[in-house]
Amino acid sequence: MNPTRRISVTRGGLTPLLLLIFGCGWCPTVGMSLAQAAEAPPAASAAERDGQHDFDFILGRWKIHLKRHVHAANGTDSWSEFDGYGLYRKVWDGRANLNEFEADSPSGHVQGLTLRTYNPTTHQWSLYWTNSQDGILGIPQVGQFHDGRGEFYAQDTVDGKSQFIRYVWTHTGPDSVHFEQAFSADGGRTWDANWISDMVRVSADPGAFAPPAARSAQDGQGDFDPLLGSWNFRLKRRLKPLTGSTQWVDLTGTGACYPLWGGKAQLDTVSLEGVAGRIEGLTLRLYNPKTRQWRLYWANSKDGIVSVPQVGEFHNGHGEFYAQDTLDDKSILVRYDWSRMDSASPHFEQAFSADGGKSWEVNWVTDQTRSSDSRQQ
């Protein structure tokens, strides 16, 4: 959680966009075969500990006392203190987790969330922060735990200058946790702590996801509300897209869509079965109230890497979302198309274009049916 840091959208060195999302659920990497996407990660060697449950201690509901370092224009420094609350829930049986954070700071109300995903190959965690003001998921802090202390690093621009950012998490007791954020402008030789949080557990149960708040018909924040709840999926995927292939494969699975921030964001989880085995994925949908556009971020449990987003909006019940990516080392455009949102079976199609959008080839089709009468989990 880091409401003071304003971060960029892109990250140098980020692996190519993990596309083939069907928006609500699954998205194997462009250029990867289905078998590669589903294969199990290698077992950890004796020298590499399995850290996939390192954040289990944080699950539940917490009261948080926060201290923020304030640099005044006259050169004097001070610390601003206030309280907030956090809800921490596990995803993928603890191999990922998501927390919602809320506080009233001296500078205004803060509403944010952090998605943490584990890479079983590198044995590292990636921590992604966003806030409800713009819904843009920032570059990740990456690292791991050693002897109960977690350190996570990133490089970003702070006040126009490139700096290293460090997160430190320590589990200080059965019901207490300590967090610090620090910046370094000298390559990590010295660190300036600017954000400190001390957390006290309120409950081991984070509680049910809050239902979406009432919204006007003109507010695009409710466009994905029809997907809330539990679903069964039937999917088909074209093999070797943009090669003239007419061969398709089928997958089936289940998933659940949960509201976040009272409905201004969503977490979608999915488990699929196909010819190559079981696949787990999640989609984090974030709404930007300024642009009235959605960003759809995908990650799968194979590597925990969150993709660059598909960005777009709905018009008259029809949603289109676009991104640029590579397929077989060639630049392509990608389109997601959502329709029949208020029907018993919402419909999704993904298409690729190799000619700048002049023509599109559909390569992924999803139809889902509700598995529960309840839209809330």
Domains of the chain: 34-41+209-370 (2.40.128.20), 56-203 (2.40.128.20)
Query: How far is CA 83 from its chain centroid?
Result: 25
pLDDT at 277 over 80: no
Over residues 319-324, the mean pLDDT reads: 96
pLDDT of residue 353: 98
pTM to 2 decimal places: 0.83
- Residue 312 is which amino acid? G
pLDDT of residue 347: 97
pLDDT of residue 360: 98
pLDDT of residue 208: 84
Over residues 84-108, the mean pLDDT reads: 94
Per-residue pLDDT band at 18 (split at 50, 70, 90): very low
What does the alpha-carbon distance between residue 66 and residue 191 come to, in Å, rounded to a whole number? 19
pLDDT of residue 290: 92
pLDDT of residue 217: 59
Over residues 340-345, the mean pLDDT reads: 94
pLDDT of residue 216: 64
pLDDT at 30 over 80: no
Over residues 245-263, the mean pLDDT reads: 93
Cβ-contact 307, 299 below 8 angstroms? yes
What does the alpha-carbon distance between residue 10 and residue 351 come to, in Å, rounded to a whole number? 23
pLDDT of residue 377: 46
Q: Across the chain, what does the average pLDDT equal?
A: 85
What does the alpha-carbon distance between residue 308 and residue 321 come to, in Å, rounded to a whole number? 12
**Which DSSP state fits 372?**
S
CB-based burial of residue 260 (10 Å sphere; 0-12 exposed, 13-18 middle, 19+ buried)? buried
Per-residue pLDDT band at 218 (split at 50, 70, 90): low
CB-based burial of residue 293 (10 Å sphere; 0-12 exposed, 13-18 middle, 19+ buried)? middle
Per-residue pLDDT band at 107 (split at 50, 70, 90): confident
Residue 141 has φ and ψ, to the nearest 5°, of: -85, 130
Locate the DSSP E strands across the chain.
60-71, 77-91, 96-105, 108-119, 124-131, 141-146, 149-158, 161-173, 176-184, 192-203, 229-238, 248-260, 265-274, 277-288, 293-300, 310-315, 318-327, 330-339, 347-353, 361-370
| Segment 119-161, tens digit of pLDDT | 999 999 999 999 999 999 989 999 999 999 999 999 988 888 9
pLDDT at 187 over 90: yes
Greater confidence (212 vs 50) lies with: 50
State which of 6-20, 21-35, 165-179 shows the largest mean pLDDT.
165-179
pLDDT of residue 279: 82
Per-residue pLDDT band at 213 (split at 50, 70, 90): confident
pLDDT of residue 106: 86
Greater confidence (325 vs 142) lies with: 142
Reduced to 3 states (helix: H, G, I; strand: E, B; else coil), residue 34 is: helix
